[in-house]
Structure 1
Amino acid sequence: MQRLISQIERISLDPAEVAAACRDAGVAFLETRRWNKRDLAEWLVESYQFATLRGHGGGVPKHQGTVAKETVTELVDRVRNEVTEALDHILTGDPSFVEDCVSAGHVASLKLGNGRVMYVAMNHKSLRLSDRVLSLFAADYLMRPQDYRCRLSVCEYCRKVSFDKECVHPQSGVFTPGGRELAGEAMPTHTIVVEEDEEAEEIGVDDIIVLESLAS
């Protein structure tokens, strides 16, 4: 556990605080429109990095040259749509993206000394942008599933995602007194040991663009 704590320098060991940081970072990504390269870079090194635990990563080719503004805009728009669709599926009883994140190692569980389990979004170098955003919501879901049954809403008109209040437009996932029951079995717990990696490199926005192009 001591080796784990040495890597979790920027996040709390309180599951509630970690869940809040994950949700705040995820919602911040979804709420901002027309991001440019600087906006994405700031999100990666601030909100996202604060809410995640950096792990091992594979080799990432360094980008040479500049990235077009349109490339970043299209990437952010596409990922926003993909993540919103995944959250919308929760409202119909399909939280499968959460289990996918756990199975792929994008989300891990850490057993704390008091017996509690904390889920963390893993900040691997090789992750695509969509995996990064989805892992934030997956970690939050695993720690606060009731919020996704009772508080989550996705507007059918403007696609706004909210946990606080209903959108003014007609929407799916409206608040109900009894909440929603999700179909399927409970998500399994996956416990991993994260070894200290003193040579871990920071991921940059140019690297994200390269990863996206390689995956296309």
Structure 2
Amino acid sequence: MPDDKAHADTLLLALTSLLKSEHIGIVNRLNVLKKNVFLELMLKKDTTKNIDLSIEMHKNQLIIIRMPEVIFLIPEERDIATTYWMSKVMLSLQVRASRIPDRSKRTKVNLVVDEIYEVAHTEQYLTFKLYQVAKFVMKPIISCHYINQLTHMRQELRNANTSYILVAGRDKDNFKELKEELYPIVAEDLMNRISYTSFGLYPL
């Protein structure tokens, strides 16, 4: 981020979201941070070599945030790290908006997140931010096997003018979730599609 304070504020925001868990206490969450040597090193590292996401996301390029499973072994560690990154992306969008007030001059950002339901607090955080992303010229693209896996985001997506792509051969539960929107298409139409094809459902 642009400075140390912004970096610290972003991490604090991510941790605050996680510490609100009803099932795992504050002490346990902090212990998770201390047990993972990579997270501990991140907390201690200075910010002199940090990239400024608010600038990089405006360059019309692919940015990949990789989190190897061998480093983040347990779900709580992955949740902490992904919530941190998600909050950092949102803060960068806000910084960019203050730097470039004219929305038409901002590069559109497509944020692709695979299987976000595996990190519950990250899903909660992005759900809370869904109503804001359009004004920051950002579009989240969420992939999952079943729509009902999205515990927190599912209803918000319905209210957010969302487009859906249903891949051929998907479970009928996905069809049932969008049955009204897909009419007059029936479940068999989806199940019998040729491999590697899909149905697209786009808002008018």
TM-score using structure 1 length: 0.28
Which one has a larger percent helix, Structure 1 or Structure 2? 2
The structure, 1 or 2, with the larger RCO (C-alpha pairs under 8 Å, 6+ apart) is 1
Larger Rg: 2
